[in-house]
A and B are shown apart, each in its own frame.
Chain A
């Protein structure tokens, strides 16, 4: 276990050192976040109305609702993107073979490839929320930070399964990220990113209920905006954890099978 943690730290440190060589990116992202938050603030000022205030199931109005939706979907994107992006980079740089001949186990290799993106995307949420609170009256006093941390971890675990499935697809077919495409495009409509799923027609609400993104967003809004309690959080949180418990091992098995397949066909390093 300690060894696995050391290996995970080695991955995190590697990515941090690489990121350090692109210093301006940090600054650009912080400024970009400011403009993103400002955009949602002014859109909210334009569309906010008493009816909408009533329809949005959390405090902070449409601005807080849409901002959380937007940044959290970005976080889901990172969870689904981390594995296949890391795999693609390793394949293109020729490091994949050298990673695979080390003594590190496959689950640690996978977890290690996602460690840094996980932390960075969580920090990015923090930056957006901080800008919102400092300049645009985002209701930080409503947040339950422990619940926020729990939701972040549970969401990453749950959606990592899709990320690993995408990486398996990439191993076999060399291009594309179908899980990301499916979840992010579908969730733009039926995930509740910019509007509550309650405004959707009945049949789309059924689709929304089957979509784990809806629960992840509910949990995050509950933790950040619903007034410091656990009540609005625990149910979607449990669903996310159950989802992770089923999907993660399944995805690991699929990835191991895909890796064996590429070792059989000799296409591990093919692009």
Chain B
């Protein structure tokens, strides 16, 4: 019992150290880099409590009191890939949705390529590819190709550009004959690949991916990671901010990892630097330390 309390103290202490490190690094980055693909400053997001019954009528006008993001500052440089790592409900999706102009921040600012997501939403959307991580979001009775054409049109792609991009992406994501089948007949993994193709259709400068390989089988996920690494990120023109629970994915793709816990950024650095800071051997352990969770040992006891 005593040793467990002791280990908690160590964890809490390291968490505080981690936060201090992160805070120093944030300031250093904010001062040093002038132009970023993504720049988030003291971002806060509060939601109103959910209401039911007749009180639901007041829901749109409720005071926001539930904190989802508590002053996050983060920057993603041009051509950089940054992973958001955090437990469920930590605020990763909220951050991505603010950047995608689907949510408005309560305080602070979120910029994409120098444009504010709240006040210059159209400019932001011009530079953005967004994948929500779900296997819905298509017209079920249209084919994959018809869906891609429609969304491509709304992203101002010409017919000739679409004729070029759709087969390219279909090949890349192994969509094959799925492209000409109605979406309702496709497996969730295939729809997920279609959704990723949609996000990349207009060759955006900034990619926001929320758990991009959630519904993919192991082979498709590996292929997708390889594609992102070798084809999207390698040229240095695309910046990536993605949320993931898959630590191998984070290690493979991310130049830096932003660890978020309860709406706060607790660390933001390379995988090796995070391991070094926390004195751990793996990203998983580093994540546990940084978020103040107990690292389970292989025999089930807490370390």
Contacts and interface: CB of A to CB of B under 8 A. Distances in A.
Contact of A97 (B137, B140, B155): B137
A268 B138 contact: no
A105 B125 CA distance: 11
Interface string A1-19: 0010011001001100110
A262 B125 contact: no
Most buried by A among B45, B101, B141, B150: B150
A101 B150 contact: no
Contact of B156 (A3, A263, A267): A3
Interface residues of B, number: 41
Contacts of B23: none
B59 A101 contact: no
Nearest to A18: B141
Given A265-B59, A265-B64, A100 B155 contact: no
Contact of A268 (B57, B59, B102): B102
A101 B139 contact: no
Contacts of B132: 94, 97-98
B134 A265 contact: no
Most buried by A among B45, B64, B153: B153
- Interface of A, secondary structure class, is helix
B300 interface: no
Interface string B97-130: 0001111101000000000000000100110101
Interface bracket on A: 35 or more
A93 interface: yes
A265 B137 contact: no
Nearest to B130: A101
Most buried by B among A10, A14, A22, A105: A14
A105 B139 contact: no
A8 B153 CA distance: 10
Interface string B25-58: 0000000000000000000010110000000110
Nearest to A265: B48
Contacts of A17: 141-142, 146
B154 A265 contact: no
B49 to A, nearest CB: 10
Nearest to A95: B137
Given A17-B142, A101-B128, A172-B60, A265 B155 contact: no
B281 interface: no
A3 B153 CA distance: 9
B142 A264 contact: no
A100 B139 contact: no
A103 interface: yes
Contacts of A94: 132, 134, 136-138
Contacts of B153: 6-7, 10
B182 interface: yes
A90 B89 CA distance: 25
A99 B142 CA distance: 16
Interface string B244-273: 000000000000000000000000000000
Given A100-B101, A101-B101, A265-B47, A10 B154 contact: yes
Most buried by B among A97, A105, A266: A266
Given A263-B103, A265-B48, A102 B134 contact: no
A81 B65 CA distance: 35
B92 interface: no
Contacts of B139: 14, 18, 93, 95
B100 A101 contact: yes
Contacts of B68: 266
A158 to B, nearest CB: 27
Nearest to A108: B154
A14 B138 CA distance: 11
Interface string A79-97: 0000000000000011101
A260 interface: yes
A110 to B, nearest CB: 13
A265 B60 contact: yes
Interface string A248-271: 000000000010111111111000
A42 interface: no
B151 A102 contact: yes
Most buried by A among B57, B106, B134, B142: B142
A181 to B, nearest CB: 16
A106 to B, nearest CB: 9
A105 B100 CA distance: 15
B193 interface: no
Contact of B122 (A10, A103, A268): A103
B62 interface: yes
B289 interface: no
B165 interface: no
9 contacts: A6-B153, A94-B136, A98-B130, A101-B100, A101-B102, A101-B128, A104-B155, A267-B59, A267-B60
Given A14-B150, A93-B137, 9 more contacts: A3-B156, A14-B142, A14-B146, A95-B137, A103-B125, A263-B102, A263-B104, A265-B48, A268-B103
Which 6 A-B pairs rank lowest in CB-CB distance, beginning with the nearest? Answer: A94-B136, A102-B154, A10-B153, A94-B137, A21-B141, A104-B154
